[in-house]
Structure 1
Amino acid sequence: MNLNDIQYVYFIGVGGIGMSALARYFRFINKEVAGYDKTETPLTKELAKINIDIHYSDGLEFVPKNFLQKDKTLVVYTPAVSSSHSEYQYFLQNGFVIKKRSEVLGMITKDSFCLAVAGTHGKTTTSSILAHLLKETGIPLTAFLGGISEDFNSNFLLEGTAYAVVEADEFDRSFLQLSPNVACITSMDADHLDIYGDIGQLHKSFKEFANRLKPGGKLFVRKGLPLEGITYGIEDDSDYCIRNIKIEHGTYIFDLGTPDTVLKGVKFNKPGRHNLLNGLVAFAMAIQAGSPPYRLAEALASFKGVQRRFSYKIKRDDLVYIDDYAHHPTEIDAVYQAIEEMHPNKKVLAVFQPHLFSRTKDFGDEFAKSLSRFDSIILLEIYPAREEPIQGVDSNWLLRKILNPNKKIVQKENLIVEIKLQNPQVLVTMGAGDIGLEVINIKNELEYAH
């Protein structure tokens, strides 16, 4: 299928972070774009502003008539949408070209110099840093991001088409649709076991991804992962390495060693060792696109961040409020480490909304251990996303596993009252569900109360 022959692109699940970036891309290259999603969100409102027709009820009568021409229409769907969805079934049974988001990304990027970021954690931050570095050093790129970059205020960037930055998503083995020139793997922790069954199958999939590099391609792997590649790490013998770290006014200052040189006094403003590693591998990948190392070091210092990735909402002496997308025990541990490093000896209240019944069940003990480290814990009910409930798995089940006695389950409508009662010095909200929609209300209430 040639994308040039397509006039109409229809999205089933257009409001997803990755889907909406694709929708923006097709709108940008003057295709007609429309789509369905379950609920209206800030992202769908932004899409509507650029003349993307969106509806929120599943039914063929809501699909604009132009999009029912199968020889001129591409249908893009997300695996998060049920296969029983009536619009999906119509397009399937009537011979339309239907592609997953990842397949379309593969089609768009196959003729560009593709830089792909893979890993169970860190994809969005790393790809956002990489897009920022390339843009700042004058590389003509298109970037499809899994979060809203605070540097571009968007999940999509189009500065040119010679280079492409994409997230290589392991969910549903999507990343096996890509053939990158340069790739990295940040982590291979057990996740998506509803898809893979066990960690062995997950690791096998990452090895398959590594084998999909174009001839002469470069693979960067975090030191310690069971894969061959160019290594990166902190205070070790990696090919790309950060050493001599200091913290001044919440900023990391360090030396950055490459196979060719050492750059001294490099600055980076995002807290957490995990973010330092993300910045380091983005730097290493950007060198492969031809950016000069000293310019990249300057650009690292100006990276602002990604919404919901250790995002400071309030930063006062008496109260710090951080919001993060963390939805896996390893990510919660990384948030804890960053808070400990940047705000030592402060009383920390963690609010966590578990995401998916299957993930909560698979990692119940690990979640409990990670959350128990905070001074106080509030759990919200599990956000189901695409799943049906699992018998016996709910937030009460998880709460019983948490050993810290300062713990409770709170309904969302009572959350702000409970946070105020606890009066923390540091508040962190975490989760990949709709907790993100509560952040602005929490911020406003806490600022107003001051």
Structure 2
Amino acid sequence: MTVYHFVGIKGSGMSALAQILHDMGYKVQGSDVEKYFFTQKGLEESGINILPFQRENIKPGLVVIAGNAFPDTHEEIDEAFKNDIPVIRYHKFLGEFMQKFTSVAVTGAHGKTSTTGLLSHVISGSKPTSYLIGDGTGHGEKGAEYFVFEACEYRRHFLSYYPDYAIMTNIDFDHPDYFANIEDVFSAFQEMAMHVKKGIFAYGDDEQLQKIQAKVPVLFYGFGEENDFQARNIEKCATGTKFDVLVRNNFYASFEIPTYGDHNVLNALSVIALCHYEEIDTDTTQAFLKSFQGVKRRFTEKQIGSQIVVDDYAHHPTEIKATIDSAKQKYPDREIVVVFQPHTFTRTQTFLTEFAQSLSEADHVFLCEIFGSAREIHGKLTVNDLKDKIEGAQIIREEDTSPLLKLKNSVILFMGAGDIQKYQLAYEKLLENE
């Protein structure tokens, strides 16, 4: 029996794919660095063996699935090549794998992970569904009809895929270490659109997505009247959000979601549009939208003492604003405190003013040192350049999170894509000792 060996198994997409293959009855193992990553929890729960990187891991009988982060010169990949052991890159393997199912790619600058999680939850209410989410969650269902997966635009990785459907949540300038400008990002999405085989569901209030051309129907969803699928009569309250959906200006049904902010209405609307198109039962769609528990690191909250502590992956100005808006809707009577770790020097430099504007929507702002990437040359930029643009902002260190203690009854949002969790853990330890 073939054994799949994942080089870099703790990567978010890699760990999810490993879990899918394991669930489907394949033999799976992998290797990675020894440092702990939150993605390995699912692997450990599945009993998937994680080895430290070493040449000796590569033996005859394996098929090697190589993570995008590792060059051909990596010791394990090199060993496989020397011994004629097949090596397949992650996105190429995934592109071939999905052909067996009705596949749905969820892509966009923001909202991919939440939408992929929501869609896989809702569709699995009607049909057996396998899914791969960018937070490291993967599930393989034997006899699956649908495959729902998160498709990332970074380095144009999503061009390896030819899905039946695509949801495009938005186009925004991000990954400035790779994309030159918004036009460059648009060109990647336009190329992706030509790969889609049955239909595209695009956020119609996005001026970039309005320009998308495809060989298949493009259905638009959003708040504006010209969209095929519209959300109307939105009611926001502290327990979630209710709204009506119109299909080509005719009332279709009312829906309720246990989440907050306009961005979550839009995520739900894209899912409703796809389910409507695939003729999935409306009652099931309504029930499963209402029972969705969320995905990892997207407004993941716990109460400690008088404070609500939230972990969120937001790392772009648009996402930060959306997360702060959600907190204000859910907790209208509490102060909103942000602890933000900028992710990469290029992104921080590119969006310095926009970061300051988004963060300023909170009542108090604490900034951590910039989480740099090994790919970057960062010049003279420091976190103080951001701090100077935000009135009253303070720098916070992992060794001393005590300034947060004074902010009783507040909601503290720990936000970032680096290792912001270590600041949250340090603060939680401090609270325990209080």
- Please give the TM-score of this superposition, normalised by the length of structure 2: 0.89
Aligned 1:412-427 pairs, distance under 5 A: 412-415=398-401, 417-423=402-408, 425-427=410-412
Which of 278-287 and 362-371 deviates more?
A: 362-371
* CA deviation profile, 1:379-406 (whole Å, cap 9, x unmatched): 1122235534512133233323x231x2
Distance 1:441 1:257 in 2: 47
Question: Greater CA deviation, 176-185 or 42-51?
Answer: 42-51
Instruction: Give the structure 2 partner of residue 403 of structure 1.
Output: 390
Residue of 351, 355, 377 corresponding to 1:363: 351
User: Is the deviation greater in 297-306 or in 117-126?
Assistant: 297-306
Q: What is the alpha-carbon distance in structure 2 between the residues aligned to residue 345 and residue 235 of structure 1?
A: 31
1:73 Cα deviation after fit: 2.7
CA distance in 1, matches of 2:365, 2:117: 30
Query: Where does 1:125-204 land on structure 2 (aligned, <5 Å)?
Result: 125-136=114-125, 138-147=126-135, 154-158=137-141, 160-204=143-187
Q: CA RMSD in A?
A: 2.5
8 Å CA contact retained: 1:251, 1:267? yes
Looking at structure 2, the residues matched to 49 and 338 of structure 1 have their Cα atoms a distance apart, in angstroms, of 31
Alpha-carbon shift at residue 407 of structure 1 (Å): 1.3
- Displacement of 1:312 in angstroms is 2.5
Which residue identity lines up with residue 390 of structure 2 in the other structure?
L
Question: 2:247 is matched with which residue: 231, 254, 258?
Answer: 258
Match of 2:3? 8
Q: 1:99 to 1:358 in 2, by over 3 A?
A: farther
Q: Is the 8 A contact 2:119 2:271 kept in 1?
A: yes
Rounded to whole Å, the distance in 1 between the matches of 2:143 and 2:323 is 35
> 1:79–1:100: 8 Å Cα contact kept in structure 2?
yes
The alpha-carbon deviation at position 372 of structure 1 amounts to 2.4
Residue identity opposite 2:87 in structure 1: I
Structure 1 partner of 2:27: 32
CA-to-partner distance for each residue in 1:339-384, whole Å, 9 max, x for gaps?
A: 2333336322100111222222222222222222222211112223
Q: 1:50 to 1:296 in 2, by over 3 A?
A: closer
Q: Distance in 2 between matches of 1:59 and 1:335?
A: 41
Structure 2 partner of 1:3 = none
CA contact (8 A) 2:131 2:148 kept: yes
Unaligned runs of 5+ in 1: 1-5, 149-153
Over 3 Å counting, the alpha-carbon distance change for 1:395 and 1:88 in structure 2 is farther
Among candidates 258, 265, 269, match of residue 280 of structure 1:
269
1:193-236 deviation line (CA, Å, top 9, x unaligned): 2222222221101001110012xx11011013232521101253
Q: Using the aligned pairs only, state the percent identity.
A: 30
* Inter-partner Cα distance in structure 2 for 1:93 and 1:396: 49
Residues 81-130 of structure 1, C-alpha deviation per residue, up to 9 Å, x if partnerless? 45653323333455543333221111110121111111011111111111
SS in 1 for 2:177: helix
Other-structure match for 1:334: 322
The structure 2 residue matched to 1:221, chosen from 202, 205, 225, is 202
> How far does residue 40 in structure 1 lie from its aligned partner after superposition?
2.4
2:312 to 313, 324, 328: 324
Q: Do the aligned partners of 1:112 and 1:164 also contact (CA within 8 Å) in 2?
A: yes
Distance 1:144 1:40 in 2: 21
Could you tell me the TM-score, scaled by structure 1's length?
0.87
